Structure formats: C-alpha cells, structure tokens
Structure 1
Amino acid sequence: MKKFDVVIVGAGTAGILLARELGKLKKKTLVLDRKKNLLEFSFNTLGSFINLEKFELSKDVVAQDVKTICFHSKNVTRKLKTDLYVLDKKKVHKEIISSVDENYVTFLTGVNIKNINKDDNCNFLSVVDKNKNEYLGTIFVDASGTNGIISKKVGLIAKKTELATGVEYNVAYKGNKTDLHLLMGKEYQGGYGWIFPLKNKRAIIGFGSFDDEIVKDLKNRLHKILEFPKIKKLVEKDNDLVEGGSIPITPVLDKFVINNLVCVGDCVSQVNPIVGEGYKFIFEAAIMASKAINKALEEDNITCLTEYEKDWKNRFLLNYQRSKRAQNRFVKYSQNNLLMDYTLFISKFIRDERCVRSLSGEYGLENEV
C-alpha cells in the first residue's frame, strides 16, 4: 500500500490551497474528499478583502469589484468607501486546483473518511474510509470544514458546533454595481441580510441567522425582506432557485496540532468571527501549515509542526479575540432597532479607513487589508 508524505482530508478552501503549496515543495500529497464534484457549493459567492496577488489568484475569480459597503438598519444607512471583492467561489477553486502540481499531488473524490488510526505512541498511521480502505501517511491534515471529521474525534473542537445558516437568491439588481449592502437590526426578522452585486445587473440577496428557531423559517423571512420598500428599490426576485448553507459561529481556538496531525480551516474554526470572512484567513493559515509540514518532513521531526500554531497565534490570535467580542455585540444589537440605529449613527464619526480595518478583521494592520 502506497504511503504519502501528507494525507489531506477535505478538498475545500483549506485543502486545495495547502495541496497547491505542498506540491510546490515537492511533497507527495494525497487529497481525499467525499464529494465527487469539487466545484459544487451551497453558496457560490462571498465578499472578501483578499489580496489576490498574495495568493496567486487572477482577477478572473472576481464576480464584482466593490467600492462601497452600505450598512442599513431600520432608520440609518452608513456608507464606507473601500476596496474589496465579491468572489466567484467556483472560479477560485477551479483556478487553485488547476495550478496544483499533478506530479506530486493526487486527488481522490467520492471518499468518505470515517476514522483515523494511531500507534502506541499516539502518532497517526492512516485514515480509513467507510469501505474500510486505508490511506497511509507520514503527516495527516484535517481540512474537512465544519464536518471536522478528525478534529472532532481527537477533541480539538466540540462535536456539536454552533452555525449561522443562510439562504439566498440570484436576483435582478437595480442598485449601484459597486455597492455591497449589509442589512441589520430587528427589522430584518431577527437575523441579518446581504446584497452582493454581480456583473450584468445581477446580485445575490441573502438572509441568515444564528438563532435555531429563526433558521427553521429562513426562506419565508427572506421573502418578507424582499417586500421592504428600500429592498424593492435595489433588487427584484425573478426566479425561484434558492441556495443555502452554514458557516461556523467561530469560537476562538489556538490549538491545531496533535503529534503528526495538523488541522486547517473551518474544522478548527479559522473563519474570522467579525463578518464570517474566511478565504483570506484560511489561505494564510494553509500557507503557514505548509511551511511547518515541509520543515517537519525535511528534518524528520514532527515537533516542527507546532511552528504553525506559533505563527498563527502571532499573526491572528489577538485580532480573532477582538473580532469575537465584536460578533457577540452584533448578535445582541441585531435584536434591537434602536441599538443598531445608534451604532450606525455613531460610526459616522469614525474614519472610513478605521472602520474598514475593523470590518476586515485586521484592526490596524493596514498593510494586510
């Protein structure tokens, strides 16, 4: 049975970027995913402050450039001048996968991993799929997203994680093509909404919530929002194709490594809590992980893997803790129109640049936005 340098469980955001980096480093890597089509998603777009060049992505992955973020509560609108992107997830993933070095990286799809085996020293030996097939490796990576196939088994994250769930439509758009809208406050049915502009006078309008009871009625609540006069001025629903999915309500973790197991992405809650921005943060974590994995393999010393944790803590921990506090305030304020109106009104006295840094989850690291 063939043994790989690295076995990655999950070919989502974290898994494919890590595979690309390991291929560059000439490490024999196996990527396993339960899906047969790696370009199928529950949500097809996302807003991101990502630096495309930093992650070797072309402008082709951009669904729309955004120059203004418009925050709407019941009675107040706050506009922020900025530069960010609405990304086409399918194009992002397709571009990364096509750049993977096939001489070193192998993808296997339709593989449903169920377990991980370890030796008497608690080092991991193999992962096992539902058909009892084993996949051997020197280093293992869980990149299985919110499923946390391995991270939950080894106790790095709780078996039941809190999720924010949303639904959305692709609709006709009547607003400014470079304006992105965020909808907040009790008026929005106890959750939050978004309008992401696309090209060709289209947009994505969505509605999500942290509340399990509200989640049961998301589609009907989104339909009510579509009837608000201010929303009708921006979008027109012209089809019944609804999409939906979940993102983690991120607990701030800083433990990602156990012996020769490394975890990257949603399986260890690496989405920034402030607005659920994931890609640029997870990509950066994957690059950190690739460097530590490469060093561990080159030096035949798995303790090098903990350098990934140290790098992540130095780069992100304080910002994530601050973002988590901001997320908790948002959940509280979103239940009260007066509080949300007041918050947006006060924000008008804060410089756009400072607000954008906070929204991006960077808090003053201007060169990283």
Structure 2
Amino acid sequence: MKKFDVVIVGGGTAGMLLARELGKLKHNVLLLDRKKNLLEFSFNTLGSFMNVDDFGFTQNVIAQNINTVSLVSKRVKRNIKSNLYILDKKQIHVELLNAIDGNYVTIKTGVHIKNIETDNHGNFTAVLDQNKEKYIAKLFVDASGTTGVLSKKVGLIAKKTQLATGVEYNVKYLGKATEMHLLIGKVFQGGYGWIFPLKNQRAIIGFGTFDDKIVKDLKNRLHKILELLAIKKLVIKDNVKVEGGSIPITPVLDKFIVNNLVCVGDAVSQVNPIVGEGYKFIFEAAIMASKAIHTSLENNDLSLLKNYETDWKNRFLANYQRSKRAQERFFKYSQNSLLMDYVLLISKLYPDARAIRSLSGEYGLENS
C-alpha cells in the first residue's frame, strides 16, 4: 500500500489550491473527493476583491469587472466606487486542475472518507473510505468544506454548525454591466440579496439568510424579491433553474491543527464573516498551510505545522473578530427596514475607501 506525504480530503477550493502548491514543492500528495466530478458546483459565481494574479490565475476567471457596489435598502441607496470582480468558479477550478502537477499529485474521486486512525501517540496514520480502504500518509488535511469530515471528528469545529444559506437564478440583466447590487433590510425578506452582473446582459440574483427558521422558504422569498418594482427594473427571470449552497457561520476560529492533521477552508470556517468572501481568504490560508506543511516535512518536525496557525492569526484574526461583530450587527439591522435605511444614510458620511475596507473585511489596511 502506497504511503503519501500528504492526503488531502476534499477537492474544492482549498484542497485543490493546496494540492497545486504542494505539487510545486514536489511532495507526493493524494487528493480525495466524494464527488465524481470536481467541476460541479452549487454556486457558479462569487464576488471577490482579490487580485487574481496574486494566486496564479488568468484573466479568464473574471466573469465581470465591477466598478460600483450599490447598497440598497427600502428607501436609501448608496453607490460605492470600487475595484472588484465577479468570478467564474468553474474557470477557477479548471485552472487549478490544469496547474496541478500529475507527477506528484494523485486525484481520486467518488471517495467518501468515513474515519481516521491514530497510533499510540495520538498521531493520525490513515483515513478510511466507505469501502474501508485505507489511505496512509505522514500528514493529513481536511479541506472538505462545511462537511468537516475530519475537523468535526477531532473537535476543531462543532458537529452541528450554523450556516448562511442562499439560492439564486441566472437572469436577464437590465442594469449597468459594472454595477453590483447588495440588497439589505426587511423589505428584502429579512435576509440579504445580491445581483452579480455577468457578460452578455446576464446576471445572478440571489437571496440568503442566517436564520434557520426561514431556510426552507428561501426560494419563495427570492420570488417575492423578484416581484419588487425596483428589482423588476434590473432583472427579468427567464428560466426555472435554481442553484444554492451554504457557508459556515461560526465563532471565529484560530485553531486549525491537531497533531499531524491540518484543516483549511470551510472545514474550519475560514470564510470572512462580513460579506461571505471566501476564495481570497481561503486561498491565502491554503498557501500559508502549504508552506508550513513543506517545512514540517522537510525537517520531519510536526511542531513546525504551528507556523500556519501563527501566520493566519497575524494576518487575519483581528480582522475576522471585527468582521464577526459587524456580521452580528448586520443580522440585527436586516430585520428592520427603517433601521437599515438609517445605517445606509449615516454610511454616506464616510468615504468610499473606508466602506470598501469594511465590505472586503480588510480593516487592517486602514492605516497602511
């Protein structure tokens, strides 16, 4: 039975980027995923402030350039000048797959990891799939997303986590191609909505919530939003294909390692809390993890894995804690249209640069 340097459980955003980085460093990696097709998604687009060049992607991953973010409540609209993108998830994952070095990284799909074995010292020795086949490695990575296949087993994240869940349609778009809309307040069904412009006069319109009580009513609530006059001026629903997905909403975590198990991405809730921006922050975390894993393997020293946690805390912890407080306020405000109108009105007193720092979760840039 072949023993790998690293077994990664999860072939999504975090897992594939980590596999790409470790392959570059010439480590023998096994990437496992329960899906048979790594290019199937529940959501196909996302808004992001990241610079795609920083993470080795081409401009092909950009579905649309955005220069204006429009925050919309019942009676108030604030336009914020910005520089962000609507990203094509499929193209990102295509480029990740193409960049993974097959000489060092083996990908196996249709694998459901069910358990993990330990030795007498508490270190992990193998993961087992649905057929009880073992996959042996020096180090293991949980990048299994909200499923948290391993992170939940070892207690890094609660077995039942609160999720922000959303649904969306691809629709005909009548608005400005470079203007993204964020819909907030009780008039938008007590959750939050978004309109992400695409090319060719198309857009994604979606509705999401933090509230478990209305998750089952998401599609119906999105339909009600589509009936609002202001929304009818922007989009026309011309198909019935609905998509959806979830991200974890948990307390801010800062522990991602147990012995020789490393966790990355949604498996340890690394989406930034303020606007659910995931890829930029998860990519950075995966690169930090790859460096710590490389150093640990090169020196045969598990303690060096802690560099990942240290780097992450230095880069993100204060911002995430601040974003979490903002998220909790936003949830409260979104239940009251008058209050949300007031918040947006007051926000007009602050410059666009400050608003963008808040939206992007990059508060640390304020004094740079």
TM class by shorter chain equals over 0.9
What CA distance in whole angstroms lies between the structure 2 residues aligned with 1:170 and 1:86? 13
1:95 alignment partner in structure 2:
95
* SS, match of residue 287 in structure 2: helix
Aligned residue identity for 1:297: L
- 8 A contact 2:8–2:32 mirrored in 1: yes
- 8 A contact 1:250–1:272 mirrored in 2: no
2:167 alignment partner in structure 1:
167
1:19 alignment partner in structure 2:
19
- 8 A contact 2:11–2:32 mirrored in 1: yes
Cα deviation 1:287-326 (Å, max 9, x = unaligned) = 0000000000000001100010000000000000000000
* SS, match of residue 102 in structure 2: coil
Cα deviation 1:160-192 (Å, max 9, x = unaligned) = 000011111000000000000000001011111
**Residue correspondence of structure 1 range 338-353 to structure 2 within 5 A:** 338-353=338-353
What CA distance in whole angstroms lies between the structure 2 residues aligned with 1:367 and 1:275? 21
What CA distance in whole angstroms lies between the structure 2 residues aligned with 1:294 and 1:126? 19
- 8 A contact 1:9–1:143 mirrored in 2: yes
- 8 A contact 2:23–2:105 mirrored in 1: yes
How many positions carry a matched residue from both structures?
Answer: 368
1:278 alignment partner in structure 2:
278
* SS, match of residue 358 in structure 2: helix
- 8 A contact 2:169–2:204 mirrored in 1: yes
Structure 2 vs 1, CA of residues 12 and 366 (structure 1 numbering), >3 Å: closer, same or farther?
A: farther
What CA distance in whole angstroms lies between the structure 2 residues aligned with 1:230 and 1:253? 39
2:269 alignment partner in structure 1:
269
2:6 alignment partner in structure 1:
6
1:219 aligns with 2:219: yes
Aligned residue identity for 1:210: F
Aligned residue identity for 1:153: K
- 8 A contact 2:114–2:130 mirrored in 1: yes
What CA distance in whole angstroms lies between the structure 1 residues aligned with 2:45 and 2:219? 18
1:141 alignment partner in structure 2:
141
Unaligned regions of 5+ residues in structure 1, if any? none
1:41 alignment partner in structure 2:
41
1:250 CA displacement: 3.6
Structure 2 vs 1, CA of residues 108 and 367 (structure 1 numbering), >3 Å: closer, same or farther?
A: farther
What CA distance in whole angstroms lies between the structure 2 residues aligned with 1:141 and 1:212? 30
- 8 A contact 2:354–2:366 mirrored in 1: no
* SS, match of residue 363 in structure 2: coil
- 8 A contact 2:146–2:266 mirrored in 1: yes
What CA distance in whole angstroms lies between the structure 2 residues aligned with 1:364 and 1:77? 27
- 8 A contact 2:127–2:136 mirrored in 1: yes
Cα deviation 1:230-267 (Å, max 9, x = unaligned) = 00000000111111111111420000011110000000
Q: Percent identity, aligned pairs only? A: 71
Structure 2 vs 1, CA of residues 367 and 271 (structure 1 numbering), >3 Å: closer, same or farther?
A: farther
1:367 CA displacement: 10
1:228 aligns with 2:242: no
Aligned residue identity for 1:129: D
2:62 alignment partner in structure 1:
62
What is the TM-score normalised by the length of structure 2? Answer: 0.99
1:11 CA displacement: 0.4
What CA distance in whole angstroms lies between the structure 1 residues aligned with 2:52 and 2:86? 12
1:199 aligns with 2:199: yes
1:112 aligns with 2:112: yes
1:82 alignment partner in structure 2:
82
Aligned residue identity for 1:89: K
Structure 2 vs 1, CA of residues 367 and 84 (structure 1 numbering), >3 Å: closer, same or farther?
A: farther
What CA distance in whole angstroms lies between the structure 2 residues aligned with 1:248 and 1:193? 18
Cα deviation 1:55-114 (Å, max 9, x = unaligned) = 001110011000000000000001100000000100001101100111000100000000
1:357 alignment partner in structure 2:
357
1:51 alignment partner in structure 2:
51
2:245 alignment partner in structure 1:
245
Moved over 4 A (4+): none
- 8 A contact 1:250–1:270 mirrored in 2: no
Unaligned regions of 5+ residues in structure 2, if any? none
- 8 A contact 1:181–1:196 mirrored in 2: yes
What CA distance in whole angstroms lies between the structure 1 residues aligned with 2:250 and 2:234? 31
* SS, match of residue 216 in structure 1: helix
What CA distance in whole angstroms lies between the structure 1 residues aligned with 2:245 and 2:280? 20
2:121 alignment partner in structure 1:
121
1:338 CA displacement: 1.2
- 8 A contact 2:5–2:138 mirrored in 1: yes
2:335 alignment partner in structure 1:
335
Cα deviation 1:41-60 (Å, max 9, x = unaligned) = 00000000011111001110
